[in-house]
Every structure is written in C-alpha cells, then in structure tokens.
Structure 1
Amino acid sequence: MQAITWRDIDTVLLDMDGTLLDLHYDNHFWLEHLPQRYADTHGVSRAMAEMEMRPLFEKNAGTLNWYCLDFWSTELRLPVRELKLETAHLIAMRPHADAFLAAVRQAGKRVILITNAHRDSLSVKLERVALAPYFERLISSHDYGFPKESQNFWSALRDDIVFDPARSLFIDDTLPILRSARAFGIAHLLAVREPDSRKGPKDTEEFSAVDSYLELLQGL
C-alpha cells in the first residue's frame, strides 16, 4: 500500500463494520445465529430456515432494507435488535483501529463515521466499543434515506457536513460502496484486506487496502 499524503487530506470518512470493527460479529449473527433462532422460533429445520431467508437476503442486498433492523424484524417475525444482543460479546475493534483514530484526531483532521448500520445496530455496537469519542459525527445512512451504495447518500452527506471530496479519505470494506464514493469524486480511497478476522484476506480488486492501521500513521 502506498503511503498516504496526509497534507492533501482534511476529512477522514470511516465505515464501521468490517472497517473499524471486526466483521466476524455481523457475519456470525446473520449467517449463523439468526437462521438458528428463526428455525427455533418458527419450528422449522435449520436448512428450511436458510432456504426461506435466502430469497429475502438476495432481494434486498445493497438496499437500505438490507441494513434495517425494523425491516428484518417484520419480515422474519423476530425481535432482531434483541437477538443481536445475544451475540454482542463478539463485537470487537480491529487491531490498532483505536490508535489510528486517536492519531488522526490529534493531527487535526475531521473524523466522521458513515455507516449503513441501522441506528439500533449502531447503538448496540457503541455500548460495547468506545468509538464515539473519536468522531465529530456518527452518521447512519438511514438518517438520509439512502445507502452508501447510492449517489444520493453522498450528495446528502456533502450537504450535511460540507466537505471537499477531493481532500477526503474514505475507508470501507465493501467494494460497491468504494466505487460509489469514487463516482462521487472522493479522491482518496482504501479498502480493508481482512474485514472478518476468521475468514482471512480478500481480494480488494482495483483498490489499495489496509492491512494494519499502523501503516497509515506514516507521515501523519
């Protein structure tokens, strides 16, 4: 990964899940815990639960509904927020993310969290990990009514916080979201090499990727 030219950056935009927090919590919840609780509650097999849930996942991927706990509670007839608390012990910050956040703040950069996570999901995470003090703002895409995959999100963000895309760094673990940011004009983009600590590195395709947050401190 090439060193960041920090003098060219005023604003640091950061995703949460898979970027600052280990994605293992979310992957375990959605792929393991929730299907099992669906099976238990509705009296079906685990295989049947996954078969019934799969079309809903495929239909809503990349939309705001995909990230909305209220939507999934209604669709699955389950108290999803309460179920997320059952595995909250798995919520963990990625290595050295806190040191990176502290250093960026100390360097005088604007630091803003932008997440597709529903506000209820965000609150569950913040109860377990002390992220809030590092940020000027904690923004959920639900505040704007558009996911980060949409250009409408980025327009709403610029109107809200007034930032220069050409002088902004954005880090996210989702490639379609990084491509959306690039289309909007965000000049400095980084993916995350290993969002889920249990799944190993992934191909970040055309994007440079963060292996360790300590790498980013050079020249800050």
Structure 2
Amino acid sequence: MVDWSSVETVFLDMDGTLLDLHFDNHFWLEHLPRRYAEQFDLHQQQAKDTLIPMIMAERGSLNWYCTDYWSEKLSVDITGLKAEVGDRIGYRPHVTDFLEALKAAGLRSVIVTNCHPDPLALKLERTGLDRYVDSIVSSHDLGKPKEDPLFWQDLKSVTPYTAPSTLMVDDSFPVLESARTAGIGQCLAILAPDSRQPARERHPEIPSIHHFNEVLPALRQRQPLPSNR
C-alpha cells in the first residue's frame, strides 16, 4: 500500500480523509437548502433545485470551497449555518491512532486542505485535530485549489518538502491525480469518506484503503527517522 521506508513527509487531506465527510455532505445537501428555503420562503425542493446546480457548476474551483464566495452569492451566513450543525463534525475511524503512529515514526505530518479558514477553525475547535499534526495549510492562502497542479509548487513556499519522499492521502481522485502530476512520490486514496454512504470504487492506478487500520501495522513497524533530519 505504502512504502514507508521512503516517506519523510505525509500530506493529509482533512474532510473525507481525517474527518467524516458526512458533516459537509449533510450541510450542503440538506441543511443549507432547508435554511435557504426558510430565508427566501421556498419549498425545500425548490431550494435544492436552485442551489445544487449552482454549487456543482463550481466543482474543482476554489469557489467550490469558499465560504465567503457562497455567503455573498447566496446572501446567507454560511459559517453561521455550519455552526448550527457542528455537532456532526467528527473523526473517521482510526484517525487519531494513525496520526500518533506518524509522530512516533518521526514523520512530518501536514494537513493540506481546500477547506476555507472559517469552517477550518470550527472543525479544529470541535476536534482538536491541530494537536496531532505539525502544521496546516489551506489552499485559500495560496489562491488555488489542490486540483490545480501548480498548487504543489506554490505549497513549497509555505511548507518546504521533497516531492519524491512525500505521501499524499486524500479522498479526492482529482486531487491525487494532480499531486501525481506534480511529482508527489506516493498517493493513497480513501474510499469511504462519508460514514453514511457506501464506499466508492477503487481508482485504477492509485492505491486505496477504506480506513487507516489497513496501513497502521506497517507504519508502526517503521523505524523512526534520525532526529537531525
């Protein structure tokens, strides 16, 4: 699955990789349409018919992930509405064990997320996820999403890394394909990002797992890197 002996840095997606994607899917597909319908006096299905095509049209762009963009475009407080269902924010299985194992192996762990800083702050407040990793980078700080192969070059300006010795873990096939194009040494796909949805089909070329317990034994057998790395 992963050649841990050649890894120095692990880039980790957040939503759907470390955190259960159920929160985000529930928000965009259920909670937002319901609250939008209430605000603009629509039936909920009318709200869905209005919102979903609008949202899907931005898929893969930075706007797709941008709280400020959707707050302004829809005339609603996206961050406030997300906080209303913040109790649904939670870890995926075996995540904290995996993050602790990365640290024990002496590997550098960096969350590299398309999440906007506002919902990112909410998720960190709810989970304490930032305690388990070395740093966090939001693509909004770089002005382009992870789907853009140029993102990975710009990422070096805020968190230097050596591409061949880096592992990227993500639930998005387009992001992983982008990382591979940019020379990231190894990629690993998450097939079960949403606990309430069936697992997806495997990618034909990118190794994949359902949960981190599948790679934990090999990771725990890895010898720690020298402290002067």
Q: TM-score per shorter chain, which class?
A: over 0.9
Runs of 4+ in 1 over 3 A off after TM superposition: none
Q: Output aligned runs, 1:87-166, within 5 Å.
A: 87-166=85-164
Give secondary structure in 2 for the equivalent of 1:163.
coil
Amino acid at match of 1:170: M
**Cα-Cα RMSD:** 1.0
The residue aligned with 2:202 is 204
Q: Alpha carbons of 1:212 and 1:51: their partners in 2 closer, same or farther (altered >3 Å)?
A: closer
What's the CA shift for 1:53?
A: 1.1
Q: CA deviation at 1:54?
A: 2.6
Deviations 1:65-120 (A, max 9, x none): 11011111111111110000111101110111001001101111110000000000
Find the aligned partners of 2:99 and 2:60 in 1 and give their Cα distance.
Answer: 27
Q: Which runs of 5+ in 1 are unaligned?
A: none
8 Å Cα contact 1:189/1:208 also seen in 2: yes
Using the alignment, how far apart are the partners of 2:60 and 2:139 within structure 1? Answer: 12
* Alpha-carbon distance in 1 for matches of 2:68, 2:159: 27
Matches within 5 A, 1:1-220: 2=1, 4-206=2-204, 207-217=206-216, 218=218, 219-220=221-222
Report the alpha carbon displacement of residue 137 of structure 1 after superposing the two structures with TM.
1.2
| Alpha-carbon distance between aligned partners in 1 of 2:116 and 2:174, rounded to the nearest angstrom | 19
Unmatched runs of 5 consecutive residues or more in structure 2: 223-229
CA contact (8 A) 1:171 1:191 kept: yes
Summarize deviations over 1:142-161 as a string: whole Å, max 9, x none: 01000000122111112322
Cα distance in 2, alignment partners of residues 128 and 58 from structure 1? 27
Is the 1:192–1:204 contact (alpha carbons within 8 Å) kept by the matching residues of 2? no
TM-score, with structure 1 as normaliser:
0.96
* TM-superposed deviation, 1:134: 1.6
